[in-house]
Structure 1
């Protein structure tokens, strides 16, 4: 009886903790409410299964407890029970996968008016590149990374000369406008993660990954690396500020273009 009661209390306590706990998701700062809905559906399904299994276990502990003269029945298999369990499991898994597939479809379908912003990860800092006046990002290659060219921008591509380069600085985004984050690493695996944006993606050396979102409210948010990337992994943090259009344009005017950065570093290095 004591064991059965403990199992029942585990279920009741788990439900109360989930409903009454003071922590919850942080305020949403992007359009990805789909992510929260998917998590809620997953919680309901897994929570129901967890409760049903533990309560059934508690019932079995109580119902089939030891009694003098009572013998357990030996039933090594039950095709009927196995069939029902297989069907129930398949339905539960499908119910959890369906919302995720729908959200993923939305996640990778980028609006035509989205602005491209490149995120470049390296041990252990975040760098960014934004399009300049031409509205296009120039080509880049990790093999071109040098002191004068920290992001490996192709100097032969005219579209890259006016790109704005932010090294280990704050990234600003305009509120209410979709952006596509192009993710690239120049050394090892990283993962760009801003919890309030409900969006994250790995940065894989040798390829460009992406996701998109629309910031829905202004504010300051922390960037984390969600992929173990070395001894400084815990310090690989950054800041994203979502600004009003006026503040965003003012910030853009203060940034340095690739051409200006390369010229200044060549001068500092004493190169012609």
Structure 2
């Protein structure tokens, strides 16, 4: 829908940032979105097809504003650095584990015949392998804890910044409520979604649990809604209970459909066809 591109244009003006490339995640019926790019000059935003079909204009504006907030706050750059750290530590763990498995195999074949200097060399390499595996695993877990904690804090900040951009907390809170009411929720079915789960607007697994674990990349949905709407009550809220239909939008009616990319979980590849009405 043209309204998506219009909203991106409006948010670029409101945030005083260059207009990012706009993409649609084809085949994703859950309500979700993400932003990518190391800086505002090389940024992109993407929303799922479910966000376009299930959200009103005000709700979609809140979601897009949230992603613009991540761009403005340089969250994508921070996320990439944290991902690099975690994958680097994971590589140490994998290397150590692989070395241990290799020595187990070669040890069985040699039948314990290694003696003298050869045996000492093997012992030293074994110590190195164990050290790599242990420190790599512990470092990877610590990195994931840090990544998750930072991600949760940045989500709250992006919600607050989105309200400043739109001057409307209702649209964003309604979008979050809509996620809680929909059967698809915020689920992203792409196989690579787990690798980039911290980049999404909401939990890519689709869970709306009120309990956030230490490895959760997003705050619990209800807590995010309550921060925007202190009067929110999940027992009576009509949107949360699925009793409030989406309002049809008239302002952007009759517009051409958005360009779409193939399903993707990471930063989208920019193509001329996917850039929308700006070329």
Q: TM-score range by the shorter chain?
A: 0.3 to 0.5
| TM-score normalised by L of structure 1 | 0.33
Of structures 1 and 2, the one scoring higher in RCO (CA 8 A, sep 6+) is 2
Structure number with bigger Rg: 1
| TM-score normalised by L of structure 2 | 0.32
